[in-house]
Structure 1
Amino acid sequence: MKPNPAASEPLELSREIAAHFVAARLAAQALPGYPGPLPQSLDAAYARQDAAIALWPDRVAGWKVGRIPDVWLERMGEDRIMGPVFAHRLHTLTADQIAELPVIAGGFAAVEAEYVFVLGADAPIDKTDFTPQQAAELAGELRIGIELAGSPLATINELGPAVVVSDFGNNAAVFLGPVIGDWRERSWDSLVCATWVEGMQVGRGGALHLPGGPLAALAFALNRGARRGHPLKAGMIVSTGAATGIHDILAGQSSRLVFDGLGELHCHAVPATATAKEQLR
């Protein structure tokens, strides 16, 4: 049965659960379990996410988009989710730089190869019916990149998409690599990539690994963002989904992401440390 989109929950509950997640992330401490009743709909989950965004001491610099697994599609009523990427967790990699992925001990962490849009123009605040083709008109750059999927809750993915949404979409950081200068002229199936962890190939895919490809993800972010009162702005990024899958990574491990014909990105997972609110302002 699909959730009732009008279903809501007390604002106090959203704020209480958000406060637990925010405190755990700032302290870099794992949560032993979900800190309250599980969200029963995506709308309830986004209410908790919005409450957490309001508590987080940093500005939203963009959004990550993730695919909802097929087994959850009918129940959720949507095929993707979104979560905030904060300014201090968005990094541009210089040539030969190794990205450091902060991993919360006892929580969840995974490395993902991503194709990341940088918006070239503001989206209309009330347009909620973007097609992928219309979304392309707002896109500026397309870059190769890395998402660190991360949460203080180890079981976040097992508990389902609504739980993922409620904790920042299971995002911990995004790293931007080089620009794909000719992306508008390329065929999407020419964008192929692979992920390696500790010298072993753990996934291979590309821009079309997820249904509809990157432009479908961008259109979703534009539409869901406007419906939530978060219209996307020029300069914001949209990380469009795990192009080779979601690959667990532990502190001390390294990963290599190979984007055929475009370059390689390298990262190393390190133990996350506590963050004072003043450091993010």
Structure 2
Amino acid sequence: MPDEMNNAAFSDSVDALIQARKNRDWLSALPTRPTSEAEAYAIQDAVARRLGPVVAWKVGARTPDTEPFRAPIHADTLFFDTTTLPAADYQVIGMEAEIAYKFAKDLPPRAEPYSREEVLDAVESVHPAFEIVDTRFAGFGSQDGLSHMADQFNHGALVVGPAIADWRSLEPLKERVALVVDGETKADTVAGNSAGEPVRLLVWMANTGAVSLGGLKAGDVVTTGSHVGTVMVPAGSTSVAVYGTMGTYELTVK
């Protein structure tokens, strides 16, 4: 993961992403495009520092064996037990049904890697969650992958449902997850998360992913990737995530 940028090579791209958030003048491209993941993360981190304290993270992986990827999330796009959000806040609305972990203890950067057991012992609760996927570019998926990585990996909002009972008994790889939009089932899967087992992602976040922004902190929420892909929905629609053991969670964006 990158250290803080030591030059102004990408300051124009950082400024452009900040301004796009403020004035909703969507970007045709970054002024200076990243050419590596390290550069994309450097832009991502610089934007995060400008936006304020990090209170949550999104993390995922393309396969169960590949290096995870992440993006920081701030208080203005983190919601708890919310059932309605305004559609006007988003250029596009991509719904993802996820499993999120809330931390009770700090896991600050340290030389010795955190073990799986230490990371799990720092977890307070597990929740059903929706991530809304959005973009600061003129068109979802219109840019190269590194530019979208720099843009908070297409994060729009994270909506966290109520904590489940006995979260340690949860078996994410066996959890059935369906997404129903306005009464129509759009996805229905078991082990639908491309990243596989989510605790691997949490351990990576503690040891690598969150280090450049100060590590994981008590109260942070980490959402671990979509189990249903990304389903684009229209404004005014109601999405219901139906979990095999975690109950249901509903969100209307209107």
Question: What secondary structure does 1:21 align onto?
Answer: helix
Contact 1:115-1:207 at 8 Å conserved across structures: no
2:43 matched residue in structure 1: 48
TM-score by length of 1: 0.78
Contact 2:63-2:194 at 8 Å conserved across structures: no
Structure 1 segment 36-115 matched on structure 2, within 5 A: 36-56=31-51, 58-68=52-62, 79-93=67-81, 98-100=83-85, 102=87, 107-115=91-99
Partner AA of 2:58 in structure 1: K
Contact 1:206-1:244 at 8 Å conserved across structures: no
Question: What secondary structure does 1:251 align onto?
Answer: coil
Following superposition, the deviation at residue 264 of structure 1 comes to 1.9
Contact 1:147-1:174 at 8 Å conserved across structures: yes
1:277 matched residue in structure 2: none
C-alpha distance in structure 1 between counterparts of 2:21 and 2:106, whole Å: 30
C-alpha distance in structure 1 between counterparts of 2:140 and 2:132, whole Å: 14
**Mapped pair 1:34 → 2:18:** no
Following superposition, the deviation at residue 229 of structure 1 comes to 4.1
**Matched length:** 254
Per-residue CA shift, 1:237-267, capped at 9, x if unaligned? Answer: 1011111111112323332211224322222
Question: What secondary structure does 1:46 align onto?
Answer: helix
Contact 1:14-1:51 at 8 Å conserved across structures: no
Percentage of matched positions with identical amino acids: 23
1:147 matched residue in structure 2: 131
C-alpha distance in structure 1 between counterparts of 2:212 and 2:13, whole Å: 19
Contact 1:116-1:144 at 8 Å conserved across structures: yes
Query: Of residues 12, 26, 38 in structure 2, which corresponds to 1:16?
Result: 12
Following superposition, the deviation at residue 160 of structure 1 comes to 4.5
Contact 1:63-1:237 at 8 Å conserved across structures: yes
Partner AA of 2:21 in structure 1: R
Partner AA of 2:22 in structure 1: L
2:248 matched residue in structure 1: 264
2:122 matched residue in structure 1: 138
**Mapped pair 1:164 → 2:109:** no
2:103 matched residue in structure 1: 119
Following superposition, the deviation at residue 124 of structure 1 comes to 3.3
- The CA RMSD over aligned residues, in Å, is 2.9
With over 3 angstroms needed to count, the CA separation of the structure-2 counterparts of 1:231 and 1:6, relative to structure 1, is closer
Per-residue CA shift, 1:132-189, capped at 9, x if unaligned? Answer: 4442222121111111111122555454542232112221211111212212123334
Query: Of residues 164, 170, 195 in structure 2, which corresponds to 1:211?
Result: 195
Partner AA of 1:98 in structure 2: T
Contact 2:13-2:33 at 8 Å conserved across structures: no
TM-score by length of 2: 0.86
With over 3 angstroms needed to count, the CA separation of the structure-2 counterparts of 1:30 and 1:110, relative to structure 1, is same
Query: Of residues 212, 218, 223 in structure 2, which corresponds to 1:228?
Result: 212
Contact 2:4-2:212 at 8 Å conserved across structures: no
